[in-house]
Amino acid sequence: MKSPLLSLPGAVPAEGVDEGVAAHYGDLFREQRALADGSGFVDLSHRGVLTVSGEDRLSWLHLLLTQHVSELPPHQATEALVLSAHGHIEHALYLVDDGETVWAHVEPGTQDALIAYLESMKFFYRVDVADRTGDIAVVHLPAGSIAEPPEGVVVRETPYGRDLFLPRADLESYAGKNGPAAGLLAYEALRVEHHRPRLGFETDHRTIPHELGWIGTAVHLQKGCYRGQETVARVQNLGKPPRRLVFLHLDGSEVHLPPHGTELRLADEGPEGRKIGFVTTSVRHHELGPVALALIKRNVPVDAPLMADSTAAAQEVIVEP
């Protein structure tokens, strides 16, 4: 779904899964600094939006999600995962309940599969699941923003900022009153700085929550059964995850950033060395320079210099080995 804000001056469209919104509006670092200072907003209107209403909504979702939501207070933000039977991450939801309805935004294009799964699990529960992507747009206000959300708009407030569930028809008028707009590249740079994983970027078909540090933030360890819980409990109580998320400081002399999927090797083994992981997201940060998130084998020494193709990289621990 193409955002009307792509008509703003300087807008350069994002590509791939983020197609439909602006990657930037002509000045990446200015936009990053504005967000870091609590100014402006980010157009996330390409993300999927769904709602769950009905008196059983919280108790029902509690059975399906990794997060404890049966007693979720109104207006308290949380995040949760849907796992496969083997504990692999399938969906990530960013939730808030307004007292009558649970609102969630998800990765672009994943809402159809998620809604199909939820519909298949309704049974006798008094719930109604709706796809609101067509009429609701997500807008992100950075931490520290003093902008007042429009009256009646559902707000999801987190330490990293506020997500507004804004009527899509109001997106252009909102932008005209609350600019300047910052592009998705600026938003992603701050996400990487804060070590926040993203489905489809930091995950692959076999990722489990422990590998990304999602235990605690998106997975509650003291709740009842849900699909994939056995894997979560086994790794938590008896072992370690096979991989771990790391933060990489990249060689700033390189012109190009290593793209998603770039293989990582130990620097002392050279370009023919064994693969020990891959780059998940790489960005240019306004203060830190070129940095990245990566998923590597758990037993890689924390002080080992790495190579992302031809780019030297120094790791910083996010998930303990």
pLDDT at residue 252, rounded to an integer: 83
Residue 300: which CATH number? 2.40.30.160
Could you tell me if residue 41 is inside a domain? Answer: yes
165 in the same domain as 290: no
Confidence at residue 287, expressed as pLDDT on a 0 to 100 scale: 96
Helix (H, G, I), strand (E, B) or coil at 192: helix
Q: Are 42 and 186 spatial neighbours (Cβ–Cβ below 8 Å)?
A: yes
Q: What is the DSSP string of 275-318?
A: EEEEEEEEEEETTTEEEEEEEEETTS-TT--EEETTEEEEEEES
Angle made by CA atoms 106, 295, 292, in degrees to the nearest 5: 80
DSSP notation for 65-77:
SSS--TTPPTT--
Listed in sequence order, the residues at least 6 apart from 291 whose beta carbon sits closer than 8 Å to its beta carbon are 192, 193, 247, 248, 249, 250, 282, 283, 285
Distance of CA 23 to the CA centre of its chain: 16
Indicate whether 152 and 293 sit together in one domain. no
The answer to whether position 261 is within a domain reads: yes
Nearest in space to 184 (alpha carbons), one of 7, 1, 20, 4: 20
Same domain, yes or no: 152 and 291: no
Same domain, 166 and 299: no
- Give the three-state DSSP class for 134: coil
SS3 state at 143: coil
Question: Is residue 148 located within the same domain as residue 259?
Answer: no
Supply the pLDDT for residue 306: 97
Establish if 33 belongs to a structural domain. Answer: yes
Pair 309, 249 in one domain: yes
Q: How many domains, the chain?
A: 2
- Mean pLDDT in each 10-residue stretch from start to end of the chain (321 residues)? 94 97 97 97 98 98 97 98 98 98 98 98 97 98 95 97 98 93 98 98 97 96 91 93 97 88 95 94 97 98 95 96 93
| pLDDT at residue 55, rounded to an integer | 97
Is residue 185 domain-shared with residue 246, that is, in the same domain?
Answer: no
36 located within any domain: yes
Please indicate, yes or no, if residue 176 is contained in any of the structural domains.
Answer: yes
Give the pairing type, strands 181-182 and 263-266. Answer: unpaired
Q: What is the pLDDT of residue 270?
A: 87
Do 20 and 155 fall within a single domain? yes
Domain with residue 8: its CATH number is: 3.30.1360.120
Mapped onto helix, strand or coil, the DSSP state of residue 232 is helix
Same domain for 272 and 153, yes or no, is no
- Alpha-carbon distance of 74 to 98, in angstroms, equals 5
Q: Is residue 51 part of a domain?
A: no
Amino acid identity at 205: H
On whether residue 57 sits in a domain, the answer given is: no
At residue 271, the pLDDT reads 86
Q: Judge if 36 and 145 occupy the same domain.
A: yes
List, for residues 244-294, the tens digit of each pLDDT value.
Answer: 999 999 998 778 899 999 999 999 998 889 999 999 999 999 999 999 999
CA distance linking residue 93 with residue 167, whole number of Å: 19
Domain extent at residue 269 = 241-320
Residues 31 and 149 occupy one common structural domain = yes
Task: Kindly state whether residues 308 and 184 are assigned to the same domain.
Answer: no
Is 92 a domain residue? no
